[in-house]
A and B are shown apart, each in its own frame.
Chain A
């Protein structure tokens, strides 16, 4: 969770094991299909937010095109299974590959610029993919969307209801979380953070800034594609709206509210988002106003996201007990030198 790995030699593995165990028994506590469905949505958003977090949190670039890659993955797997009859299980890695291919081409073009230009360029690429999906009726059925997408299955085990899908996505979330953890403590991950904090300095130390960023971007888009494919086979209907600005905003809100640049942050953010989305269903259009206010409020008052509240509390707690506080109060959520 923290970007550094020292400290808590015993407490951390125990806490992680406890957390995973709690997540594993959650569907049994949920009690009804509706809550189980919400758990699946939580995990799906957590997966997508973790992938977006690689770009926003670790590379320090704001992308507005992420939902488009989710859509590319969803459409790839949906088209392969409905039109070519390919088993969805094969479609899943293919969706990741195709999304990564798009990510490679788009990232190769867009990562030449940074900051606001990059954000706007990804917005443009996202809008192009949306427009094509919306108008290429022969392939994607346009605004009508693709219906009757078959559910995923491994042999006799069909992921046609919420509970098995939950475990599938949970496994992917844990795998992605572990990958992010391994990445951040690896040489490549440190290169990511160095590029985020100060690109010219990183370049002067022999880090290839462009390749480092491209690698992170492609990894993020591949995971987004897989997440999109699972979504398509779970909900079983997709429309071009999956690529829309609405979804982009939702994913950014999840990452920022939870806490960018951390692993627990996006998972927590997804929980808050899905929880509020459902509990505020009666509020109608007011919901998005609340989310927008939350986003703006978090950016202004709590730049580290909700997760930083806990870190703050823990640091305060430690200094009370005269233990040495962890050196990183906020794990450098601000982009550092600028």
Chain B
């Protein structure tokens, strides 16, 4: 086995994996804190990529500003989705919540196709064509940016959950929503900013990955699938689990695509979750209820 090729595959896998982690973190936060399985999560990733594209082309803003604006706008849209659908349904059965999030996903994806057109678009980024050599590994600057920005965002999220007042309120809600409400925590507020945070992260991921691929209105579907594989593998509600599972999935897909078959690469992820779930039905990093 050629070491250079191998190292390159690992590096590509880590970059892809980091993007998966960013998607999955929002998904797992929404589940861990609010007990909502949000099938529409991938659509916020799609919106993140498209809003970055439109802010860049229509208003002529540079890529970094466009990405930041898109993250903020999509966080706002996430809050709106929460207010309209998830908050009113919070006392309903999980089946109802699952179905309504599926409806929301179809609504955004098809609405996106209507608004943006089905043809692929390219997100412009000044880093997309510049190449960086790290030892024997060659990556575009954009892919390095995906990894670096994701690491910074994840550390910020970790510090936020661990030390801020809002983060403590989130963890309290995750452990016991009724108990948290009794101690005076505003659960409605926790709902709002958990959605803002999760959807903002999804949009950031879309804005970062956008320039490395073509974007379609249906990429949300792909994103939510990857997110779910990672979240299920790591354990629903576990942020640490999402980190390890995301990187693992990225690397395994990359190696599988390189050494086995590109066509069946997609199936590898699914085969992985099935294997994990048969072995540990609650995921690799699951323990009792709460945010980890």
Contacts and interface: CB of A to CB of B under 8 A. Distances in A.
Contacts of A134: 263
A288 interface: yes
Contact of B85 (A62, A120, A286, A300): A300
Interface centre among A109, A131, A289, A297 (most CB of B within 10 A): A289
A288 B274 CA distance: 31
A85 B232 CA distance: 43
A85 to B, nearest CB: 30
A49 to B, nearest CB: 15
11 contacts: A113-B281, A119-B37, A120-B37, A124-B270, A127-B266, A132-B264, A295-B99, A295-B102, A299-B100, A300-B85, A300-B89
A24 interface: no
B103 A112 contact: no
Interface stretch (B108-116, B120-128, B129-137, B144-152): B108-116
Nearest to A132: B267
A242 interface: no
Interface string A287-310: 011011101110110010000000
A124 B272 CA distance: 10
Given A117-B277, A125-B270, A338 B94 contact: yes
Given A62-B95, A285-B113, 14 more contacts: A60-B95, A62-B98, A116-B37, A117-B277, A123-B228, A127-B270, A132-B264, A245-B221, A285-B118, A289-B107, A293-B107, A295-B103, A296-B107, A334-B93
Interface in A96-117: 109, 112-113, 115-117
B284 interface: no
Given A113-B277, A252-B99, A131 B85 contact: no
Contacts of A289: 107, 110-111, 114
Contacts of A132: 264, 267
A335 interface: yes
A229 interface: no
A299 B92 CA distance: 11
Nearest to A289: B110
Q: Chain B interface secondary structure, helix, strand, loop or mixed?
A: helix
B278 interface: yes
A292 B110 contact: yes
B206 to A, nearest CB: 19
Instruction: Give the one of B94, B103, B232 with max A CB within 10 A.
Output: B103
B154 interface: no
A312 interface: no
Interface in A116-144: 116-117, 119-121, 123-125, 127-128, 131-132, 134-135
For the complex of A and B, list the 10 residue pairs with the smallest distance between their C-beta atoms, beginning with the closest. Answer: A296-B103, A292-B106, A288-B110, A124-B270, A292-B107, A116-B37, A295-B103, A135-B263, A335-B93, A131-B267
A138 B105 CA distance: 35
A123 B225 contact: yes
A256 interface: yes
A125 B267 contact: no
A202 interface: no
Contacts of A115: 37, 94-95, 98
A110 to B, nearest CB: 8
Interface in B272-292: 273-274, 277-278, 281
Interface in A225-284: 245, 249, 252, 256
Given A60-B95, A252-B99, A121 B107 contact: no
B232 A117 contact: yes
B98 A119 contact: yes
Nearest to A288: B110
B122 to A, nearest CB: 22
B267 A127 contact: yes
B106 A124 contact: no
Nearest to A142: B263
B271 interface: yes
Contacts of B196: none
A135 B260 CA distance: 14
B236 interface: yes
B278 A112 contact: yes
Contact of B88 (A60, A288, A300): A300
A107 B273 CA distance: 15
Contacts of B104: 292, 296
Nearest to A249: B106
Please indicate which of the listed interface residues A112, A121, A286 has the most CB atoms of chain B within 10 Å of its own CB. A121
A121 B273 contact: yes
Contacts of A292: 103-107, 110-111
B229 interface: yes
Contacts of A297: 103
A66 to B, nearest CB: 13
B96 interface: yes
A297 B94 CA distance: 16
